[in-house]
Chain A
Amino acid sequence: MNRAVPFIAVGVIVGAGLCVNDSAGQLRREVNPPVRDTGLDAHETHAAATLLGQFRTSISSWLWLRTDLYLHNGVQMRPLSDAEVRAGVKGLGSHDNEDKKLHDDAKITTVVPASDRDFRGWMGDVERATQAFKDMRNHGHRDPKSALPLFRLMTWIDPQFIPGWTVGAHVLVSGNSPEGLERAVGLLQQGISHNPESVELYGELGHIQAVRWHRFGLALTSLERARQLSLRRPVPEDEDGHDAVRDTYRWLALVHRELGQLGGMYDAAREGAQRMPDDVILRRLANPPPSPLPIARQQAWLKALAETAPPPEH
């Protein structure tokens, strides 16, 4: 009996893990009730989801950091410290970092310093030889698509991890292929099914529908939904939440403008500028009248609207 105990323990643990995984799915459906004013998310409203949520949040956050690492092929990067920025130390930059969705390479440097910035002598040389290290000035990245399974893993472990959905969709559309677009939209819609009150997801959906798909009617619907959701609580103070609300208003105003709905553009921009008075773009959109669209372009939008059949509603 004593010899069987370890195997029984392993079996119990594995079985419990499988049961928890199965019941967690049911918990997810139960803990997405209508909006409450307190603004608590699912991780904080149900005891088991809280315990699981904290663990899942930690794992998904850890995966997020690892994704950044893999995109740099294992070279560990870190943001410049305030002291370094004040001292004029420059980030390494990259040649393919036009979109700063993942990180801003102009403000990061390697965790392991280059030899000219390392006081440790031979220890530093050894570390540069044992770690994944190379000169990262103006570096490139691995194809972000290689990280897609990780994004998928993040969202499976923690469906409430919004960056997993948004960045995953961003990666899918980066190739500009029709298949990528379809998959990105499908991914975001799946994320919305787990997070029906997420401003970021509706905002990203609207952004892709507008910019990549040119389906402005759909984009308007998505962005409008994002706007309504954002009105239910104050503008978030965290960078991601704040940017999501800001981008929602910006894209909403621009989509209205593309559709020739100047009134809608002003309303959206003014409301956004009122909520975020520091945003220059929203203030500009809210105030002077925009230049009229060229006639040819107006006709092209109207033709596109008439020809494009909206996909089935999600």
Chain B
Amino acid sequence: MNPRAWVTLAKGVVLESVRRKDLWVVAILGFLIMASAGALGFFGMSGLEAFAKDLAGTVLGGFGTIVAIIISTRLMPDEIRQRTLYPLIARPISRFDLLMGKYLGAVAVTTIAFLILTALVGVSLAMFKVGYEPVMLQYVLVRLMGLSIVCAVGIALSLVMTPNAASTMGFVLAFGSGLIVRALVMAYETSPGPMQPVFRVVNALVPQYGLFDLSGRAANQGWGPAPAWVVGTLILYAVGYSGAMLALGWAKFRRQAV
């Protein structure tokens, strides 16, 4: 393992992304959000604070996920397609180092994009004197952890399927995993006995992105931050699930002829 190589590769990913103006799209989105927030100003924000914060959480979560999927599912296929992979793997680094570097790069770009959006959304809320609470900061940190899982899943998928299929699967998992979990929970009690272990297995395999969404607590009154043990558990889950995804991707990539 060569952590320095990871950092070097990640810096390359960020620099390419910035120069390619990927983050301009994010900035334009942010300005659109501010313009929409201006329209809400017609009503005055009195009574709409919860709605505004809820909308902010939805927008941040949605666009952050979109950026994470698009960035992560494109990285490795682009390396192979553009043939920029050869000079890389000719270096004295392992394929695992390469994968980790690209993953960290995806996480870095996603984090930058998310923080830009957060700042712009925050300015919109501040313009209407919506108060800030510690739980909102916790929302940002925990959401970033969730996005790191999205990046890991995206990279793993991109190594086993075409980029378009990987993006599609990534979106299905990101926006559908919540529905799957809800359906499992709803159906478990009333399902036949032999099905219940299946439900447990499916629940264990599906990425639990919903756990990383604190927007309900952040938007509504009186909820406060989640306890420390919860954040610790989420960190462990994020590291574990991301690691498992990257390990699957590496298992495919390590012996792949290029």
Contacts and interface: CB of A to CB of B under 8 A. Distances in A.
In the complex, A touching B (Cβ < 8 A): yes
Interface of A: 6, 9-10, 13-14, 17, 21, 63, 66, 69-70, 73-76, 78, 81, 83-84, 86-87, 89, 111, 113, 117-120, 122-123, 126-127, 129-132, 146-150, 152-153, 156
B230 A130 contact: yes
Contacts of A21: 39
A152 B211 CA distance: 33
A128 to B, nearest CB: 9
Given A17-B35, A119-B199, A130-B226, A6 B212 contact: no
B142 interface: yes
A66 B54 contact: yes
Contacts of A70: 50-51, 54, 220
16 contacts: A6-B24, A14-B32, A17-B35, A70-B54, A70-B220, A74-B217, A78-B186, A84-B189, A87-B189, A113-B185, A126-B211, A127-B211, A130-B142, A149-B47, A150-B47, A153-B51
Contacts of A89: 189
B203 interface: yes
B43 A149 contact: yes
Contacts of B51: 63, 66, 70, 149-150, 153
A14 B219 CA distance: 27
A73 B32 CA distance: 28
B123 to A, nearest CB: 15
B161 interface: no
A83 B190 contact: yes
Nearest to B139: A130
Contacts of B219: 74
With most chain B CB atoms within 10 A of its CB, the pick from A76, A83, A119 is A119
B234 interface: yes
Interface in B26-60: 27-28, 31-32, 35, 39-40, 42-44, 46-48, 50-51, 54
Contact of A148 (B47, B142, B200): B47
A84 B42 CA distance: 44
Interface in B165-190: 182, 185-190
Contacts of A156: 42-43
A109 to B, nearest CB: 9
Given A74-B216, A150-B51, A153-B48, A130 B186 contact: no
With most chain A CB atoms within 10 A of its CB, the pick from B35, B46, B187 is B35
Interface size class of chain B, counting residues whose CB lies under 8 Å from the partner chain: 35 or more
Binding site secondary structure of chain B: helix
A17 B34 CA distance: 13
A113 B203 CA distance: 15
Given A6-B24, A150-B47, A156-B43, 7 more contacts: A70-B50, A126-B233, A130-B234, A131-B210, A146-B47, A148-B47, A149-B48
B94 interface: no
B35 A14 contact: yes
Contacts of A83: 187, 190
Interface string B216-235: 11011111001100100110
B208 interface: yes
Contacts of A75: 216
Nearest to B29: A10
A73 B44 CA distance: 21
B217 A150 contact: no
Nearest to A109: B186
A119 B196 contact: yes
A190 to B, nearest CB: 15
A204 to B, nearest CB: 22
Nearest to B44: A149
Interface string B193-214: 0001001100100001011111
The 6 lowest CB-CB distance pairs between A and B, nearest first, are A74-B220, A132-B216, A149-B47, A83-B190, A129-B230, A74-B216
A13 B233 contact: no
A76 B216 contact: yes
Given A17-B35, A150-B48, A122 B233 contact: yes
Contacts of B210: 127, 131
